[in-house]
Chains A and B, each alone.
Chain A
């Protein structure tokens, strides 16, 4: 199992500079090709975990290994490793405007492949622009686009590198239904390892097969199948992903657990 692991976190502790502990002794192993959904309430550390996995932040204690190689601040400064790692491991940020800085959408998608000196830059741009229906926006400046369009451009940017590890932070947050459907299909067909964070339970079942539920204190509360997680109401309530409130059915008032964007199957 360890040999096939693409990602290994070993007793990782991470604290914000102001001292708040996000993760304490977090251990995790993800195999190549797995589709993992990261579920958790706001502020539980989903985005931070993705940034750790993308080698943008580093554990205060413990180790992070990518394909057996330790990813540390020093290692990421080594140009050869950084080139390989940044090409293979990509992150779609929760706020896509942070990723966009080129004068046109075409340049934006071409940026990564061009940096790597790939010979098929234009073909990659055309492929992902078509897949995400961005053709008519190719000569537009990214800053002038709507939130959903920016999200699609940012997605095209990371996919244009044909990554081995795709880290997606709330990818469907501002996508229209058609693009969300396309994303679900694309992820299902993809050979890449995918880790998607969301607090949208209705999307979770579509986005992956393995589910990690993070508690509000950053601990892993559950690691198993998505369906098993979604049908465990106690777990979801404890993770602040479902809630109880008073409810009326005709003249009867009662209280039960709700997941407003997901229908329980029990």
Chain B
């Protein structure tokens, strides 16, 4: 598209705010179609990733809404569509943005935001490695197809490790930042 990283960040922020302000499902559907069109070749990979990322959340929210709205007698299909399309669009834009923009380059010149982005990206890399290692170790340890209960236990252990790691890393990072004078005013 020829936009700089900062331009892309601004475009993403504008699109995300606009998607949050629009309350008409048809417009969101058109916006999603436009985003898919503009995303080029990786559009289906991004859409696939988006749908997997939101399926549990959207189903839970949608199911909850259907139950409660039906019980209260004010079920609206438009609202259900609006909520789902908005989440799909925002998450798709997020993945598209993440795959095309160097966040650190986009934030260059804004030290606080750059620092926060560096911390977040560092944490994300650590978590990505943990998730990958858990997946590979589980594969490696299973000569036969694992049972559902084993998968659930593995997922729970993974969640616990991520939580512990995020707490430990958070504490460590805060101490390191304090040690380097970040909080000294």
A-to-B contact residues, CB < 8 Å: 51, 54, 56-57, 79, 82-84, 86-87, 90-91, 93, 95, 97-103, 111-112, 115-116, 143, 157, 161
Complex CA–CA separation, A111 to B141 (angstroms): 8
- B144 an interface residue at 8 Å Cβ cutoff? yes
Closest chain A residue, CB of each to CB of B134 = A98
B141 touches which one: A51, A79, A112, A143 (CB < 8 A)?
A112
B138 touches A93 (CB 8 A): no
Contact pick for B140, options A54, A102, A103, CB 8 Å: A54
Question: Are A112 and B157 within 8 A (Cβ)?
Answer: no
Report the Cα distance A157→B143, complex, angstroms: 13
B130 at the interface (CB under 8 A from A): yes
B143 adjacent to A82 (CB under 8 Å): yes
Complex alpha-carbon distance, A99 and B150, angstroms: 12
Please list 22 pairs of residues, one from A and one from B, whose beta carbons are closer than 8 Å in the complex, sorted by A's number. A57-B136, A83-B143, A83-B144, A86-B140, A86-B141, A86-B142, A87-B143, A93-B136, A97-B157, A98-B130, A98-B133, A99-B140, A99-B141, A101-B153, A101-B154, A101-B157, A101-B158, A111-B141, A116-B143, A116-B144, A143-B157, A161-B143
Residue of B nearest to A89 (CB): B140
Residues of B within 8 A of A82 (CB): 143
Given A98-B137, A99-B140, A143-B160, list of 20 further CB < 8 A pairs?
A51-B136, A56-B139, A79-B144, A79-B145, A82-B143, A83-B143, A84-B143, A87-B143, A90-B140, A91-B140, A93-B133, A93-B136, A93-B140, A97-B157, A101-B138, A101-B153, A101-B156, A101-B158, A102-B153, A115-B142
B161 within 8 A of A: yes
Q: How far is the CA of A102 from the CA of B155 in the complex (A)?
A: 11
Given the complex, which residues of B lie within 8 Å of A115, measured CB to CB?
142-144, 146
When C-beta atoms are compared, the residue in chain B nearest to A86 turns out to be B143
A72–chain B nearest beta-carbon distance, Å: 15
Q: How far is the CA of A51 from the CA of B136 in the complex (A)?
A: 8
List the B side residues contacting A116 at CB < 8 Å: 143-144
- Residues of chain B within 8 A (CB-CB) of A84 are 143
- Leading 3 A-B pairs by shortest Cβ distance: A101-B157, A98-B133, A86-B143
B103-139 contacts to A (CB < 8 Å): 130, 133-134, 136-139
Size range of the interface on B? 20 to 34
Contacts of B130 in A (CB 8 A): 95, 98
> Contacting A103 at CB < 8 Å: which of B134, B153, B161?
B153
Bound CA span A55–B103, Å: 34
Q: Complex formed: what's the CA distance from A157 to B138 in Å?
A: 12
- How far is it, in angstroms, between the C-alpha of A83 and the C-alpha of B130 when the chains are bound? 25
Question: What's the least CB distance linking A167 to chain B, in Å?
Answer: 9
Which residue of chain B lies nearest to A56 when distances are taken between CB atoms in the complex?
Answer: B136
Q: A143-B157, A143-B160 are in contact. Are A99 and B143 (CB under 8 A)?
A: no
Partner of A100, one of B146, B150, B157: B157
Known: A101-B157, A103-B153, A143-B160. A95 touches B144 (CB 8 A): no
CB distance from A247 to the nearest CB of B (A): 30
CA A115 – CA B137 in complex, angstroms? 15
Q: Give min CB distance, A130 to chain B, whole Å.
A: 22
Q: Closest B-chain residue to A91, C-beta based?
A: B140
In chain B, positions 14-69 with a C-beta closer than 8 Å to chain A are none
- Complex interface: chain B residues within 8 A of A101 (CB): 138, 150, 153-154, 156-158
The chain B residue sitting closest to A143, CB to CB, is: B160
Question: How many Å from the CB of A135 to the closest CB on chain B?
Answer: 22
Query: Which residues of the other chain, B, contact A86 by a CB distance below 8 angstroms?
Result: 140-143
Complex Cα distance A156/B61, Å? 44
Least Cβ–Cβ distance between B93 and chain A, in angstroms? 21
CA distance A79 to B143 in the complex (A): 8
Q: Nearest B residue to A76 by beta-carbon distance?
A: B139
Most buried by A among B133, B140, B145, B158: B140
